[in-house]
Amino acid sequence: MVKFFKIIATLEGISLLVLLFFAYVYRVDQLVRIIGMAHGMLFITYIVLAIMLFSEEKWPVKKLLIVCVASVIPFGTFYIENKYFKQSSNA
């Protein structure tokens, strides 16, 4: 499950950056809607998986809060993946 979470975290982080890029640099409304929908689904999946890992792996509440807050900060999920999951290789 950690491996899947890491993949979703990476995709969520990329989708946020792409969304911000098209929203503020190119201002293409149609692309922002499409990318926004994909990002929204990845965001929800990220949060659900974080809550599942919180329960399954007995995370402290502080770790869960940090992981969840990082999902709304550009590059936040990359930081979290590096800080908390770099050494984790279990599936």
Domain boundaries, the chain: 2-84
Give percent above pLDDT 70 in the chain: 95
Amino acid letter, residue 85: F
Q: What's the pLDDT at 83?
A: 86
Confidence tier at 42 by pLDDT (50, 70, 90): very high
How many other β-carbons are positioned within 10 Å of the β-carbon of residue 41?
Answer: 13
| pTM for the predicted model, two decimal places | 0.86
**pLDDT tens-digit readout, 51-89:** 999 999 999 999 999 999 999 999 999 999 888 887 655
Cα torsion 65, 6, 89, 79: sign: negative
Residue 25 to residues 9, 31, 51, 55: CA-CA distances in angstroms? 24, 12, 33, 39
Q: What's the pLDDT at 85?
A: 81
